[in-house]
Amino acid sequence: MQLPSEDFHLKIYLGNKQKGCVTNMNEFVNMLRESENIVFFGGAGVSTESGIPDFRSEQGIYNTRRQFGVSPEEILSHTYFLRHTDKFFDFYKSTMVYTSAKPNKAHEALAKLEAMGKLKAIVTQNIDGLHQAAGSKTVYELHGTIHKNYCMKCGKYYDLDYVMKAPGVPRCQQCGGIVKPDVVLYEESLDEETIEKSISAIAKADMLIVGGTSLNVYPAAGFVRYYRGGRLVLINKSDTPYDGYADLLIHDSIGKILSEAVENL
């Protein structure tokens, strides 16, 4: 699928009114009040407040988990999964799955916004299922989910509990095949139907909130280019390549900002 060119939705800088400036909470709340078709696009930063580490920050998985002798990026590749399945599951179970994690203020605020009829969809790069645990209904999981697992031989599905309790590599009770988590590894393609639904929701939105993502991972980061409205809000503690395109830019805790905003609607 062809993404729009880099000059999409070009913003013009006008002194203190320039796009990408940090603005107050009142402006964010007013945007929410005026919008009826909101889409939220989130990344790993949405779940860090639930105790799940992100990937690329200083304390992230990619910078702290080197005890397996190879980089986490290599371990999380399709090739490594096939060649070193036992080591993959050692890493996966100890590093990628947090069974005790609970939804935080960000997940709960988004669920409330959906219940109000304002939020129409969540597009997430996370695999933890915390949006659904908080009560959100329309969630497009670009990278799959830890809660669905399938036998590579016969297709039988298993839940997360089955995978975590299996000694070593989880095997199918029906045919003995390897049970693979339904998550997208490096070298694998995103699900086409999920892509289409995500892009469609973003393109139709009258407000797009992007939170907890560096917007450096493609193709997912490129989905933001499909938004054509005038209420693009970026909430992230660090800078992103899209900051200059934002109508509202907030460098703060996503849980704090979303919960406070929704409470004041």
Give the residue numbers marked as catalytic.
Answer: 143
The two structure tokens encoding residue 145: 């989910």
Could you tell me which residues come within 8 angstroms of residue 164 by beta carbon, excluding any fewer than 6 positions away? 93, 97, 99
Q: Measured between alpha carbons, how far is 183 from 7 in angstroms, rounded to an integer?
A: 32
- Cβ–Cβ under 8 Å, residues 56 and 62: yes
Q: Where are the beta strands (DSSP E) in 87-206?
A: 119-124, 139-141, 144-151, 157-158, 179-183
Q: Measured between alpha carbons, how far is 209 from 202 in angstroms, rounded to an integer?
A: 10
Q: Measured between alpha carbons, how far is 182 from 159 in angstroms, rounded to an integer?
A: 10
Tally Cβ neighbours within 10 Å of residue 248. Answer: 20
CA torsion 54→49→58→42, rounded to 10°? 40
Torsion angles phi and psi, residue 96, rounded to 5: -100, -15
Which candidate, 33, 22, 82, places its Cα nearest to that of 265? Answer: 33
